Amino acid sequence: MEFFNETQFPAELFRNELEENFMYNSLLVRVRYQIEINNQLTLITSGEKALKDIRREPVEDEFGIIESDLFFPRTATDLIIIGNAISTKGPVSQMMVNASAGPYNETLLVTGDRIWEKRLMSKKLYPSTPELFESMPLKYELAFGGSAVTPQGEHPYPSNPIGKGYYISKNEALGNPLPNIENPKDMLIEWKEPKKRKEQDFLNIQRDPVGFAPYPTNWALRLLKIIEWDQTLQGKLNLDDPEFLAQQIESIDFNPDNGMFDRAHPRLSGKQLVPGQAVRLTGMSTEGIIEFQIPEPSFELMVRLEDDIFTRDLELEEVLIDLRGFIVDFSFRKLFDYEIIPNQIRQTTLKYKSE
């Protein structure tokens, strides 16, 4: 299959013979826009900010690793946002940040630095008074997670091993920090010491980290979608044995439809976004609300198999917003396959849509 790109946008046709005598193709296209002060989008095709290619290698960013583009598609559209929570009211102890787009509507509670502390006449631990802040990076280092101390050594929290706030005992938690970024419907309010080590309190231990940044493939929120567990062990989790989880994997499903190749936080992946839908961000800019519409792509795919010609639209696979430069990247993908017939003319062309 020959590939011709008649547009100015970076694109790649991935090919793979997953089945004998059938070729599977995956076309990926990336487009970049500037978010202007009036919330209008301006296409970037030249200059230092312009895209030169697709992502052929992982990008190690301070907000996390942005994985390279692959043959395999996402389940739908990933929404990834890189930026800070920014107060427009001066220093605050707490604020809400929201991202909405089509079926997505995710709110984060951002709180200043706190530690677990004792209060007079109480055996429980409570969060200290938050410190004031004006800007807070929305990184997973500041979401729930980290490593807890166990008899076997440090035990990383599977859903976010780089975060903060994961402790197994009250003594370990005392004087140590809480997460800054939380789900407002699942806040840490007080520490409740479990009666038995094998019956850990859900409030303190089993909490999902939240965020807008790219979410790693090898962290638990994504792995749990592709790993089938031994259900007979339900309720028998022993946190004193960090190797317990790895020993109980029954099988692994590598079907892309289960989200294995998604790159956004699971709460911001798996649902389809389409051109014309509004993207709205609050609490992430000194200018106030950021809002724009997903643009209609100006290109389409044409496939020629000998004398047969097919034209197809591409689907939106990723919206990556980087508020450090007020840039938004859209990636579009189309999958198609054909039977391999020797000496047949096979051509794929990415071309501008006819007016």
Helix H, strand E, coil C: the string for the chain is CEEEECCCCCEEEEEEEEECCEEEEEEEEEEEEEECCCCCEEECCCCCCCCCCCCCCCEEECCEEECCCCCCCCCCEEEEEECEEECCCCCECEEEEEEEECCEEEEEEEECCCEEEECCCCCCEEECCCCCECEEECCHHHEEECEEEECCEEEECCCCCCCEECCCCHHHHECCECCCEECCCCCCCCECCCCCCCCCCCCCCCCCCCCCCCCCCCCHHHHCCCEEECHHHCCCCCCCCCCHHHHCEEEECCCHHHCCCCCCCHHHCCECCCCCCEEEEECCCCCCCEEEECCCCCEEEEEEECCEEEEECCEEEEEEEECCCCEEEEEEEEEEEEECCCCCCEEEEEEECCC
Mean pLDDT over residues 121-148, rounded? Answer: 94
Q: What is the mean pLDDT of the chain?
A: 88
Q: Is the pLDDT of residue 339 over 70?
A: yes
Q: Which of 163, 264, 254 is nearest to 208 (CA)?
A: 163
Predicted pLDDT of residue 123: 80
Q: Is the pLDDT of residue 20 over 80?
A: yes
212/249: higher pLDDT? 212
Confidence band (pLDDT; 50, 70, 90) for 285?
A: very high
% of the chain beyond a pLDDT of 90? 69
222/122: higher pLDDT? 222
% of the chain beyond a pLDDT of 70? 87
122-131, 176-185, 193-202, 345-354, range with the lowest pLDDT:
193-202
Q: Is the pLDDT of residue 199 over 70?
A: no
Predicted pLDDT of residue 257: 72
Mean pLDDT over residues 337-346, rounded? Answer: 89
Mean pLDDT over residues 301-323, rounded? Answer: 95
Q: Is the pLDDT of residue 202 over 50?
A: no
Mean pLDDT over residues 276-297, rounded? Answer: 96
Q: Is the pLDDT of residue 203 over 50?
A: no
Alpha-carbon distance 275 to 268, whole Å?
17
Confidence band (pLDDT; 50, 70, 90) for 351?
A: very high
Q: Is the pLDDT of residue 12 over 80?
A: yes
Q: Which of 236, 233, 330, 273 is nearest to 34 (CA)?
A: 330
- Token duo for residue 314: 């591409």
Predicted pLDDT of residue 240: 46
Predicted pLDDT of residue 226: 75
Mean pLDDT over residues 160-188, rounded? Answer: 93
Q: Per residue in 214-246, pLDDT tens?
A: 999 889 898 877 776 555 555 554 544 556 555
Predicted pLDDT of residue 83: 97
